[in-house]
Amino acid sequence: MAVHPPVVVHPPSPTGGRRVTIRGVIAGLASGPPDLLEFLRRAGLDPDAVDLADPVLIEWRGGGPDVWEEPPRL
């Protein structure tokens, strides 16, 4: 049975930011790493000990920790 990361950062929204779910519950819309770290803090994690690139903790969809806006449409 595959184990999925408890945190999912969804693809960038057309209006900006990325939806974040923690253990299947929507935590909010993050506009950057500080927002994501705040959501993780509220979920009981120490933001100073979190590695945003840790695939065991966070599943990034539609780009990694450096992508917060939708790519421009041509």
Residues 11-60: tens digit of each pLDDT:
999 988 999 999 999 999 999 999 999 999 999 999 999 999 999 999 99
- Tell which phi-psi region holds residue 27, choosing left (phi > 0), alpha (psi between -120 and 50) or beta: alpha
Supply the pLDDT for residue 2: 61
Domain boundaries, the chain: 7-60
- 12-25: pLDDT as tens digits: 999 889 999 999 99
Residues 2 and 70: their CA atoms lie apart, in Å, by 29
Residue 1 has pLDDT above 60, yes or no: no
CA distance 34 to 28: 13
In this structure, are residues 38 and 47 in contact, taking their beta carbons and an 8 Å threshold? yes
Residues 46 and 63: their CA atoms lie apart, in Å, by 24
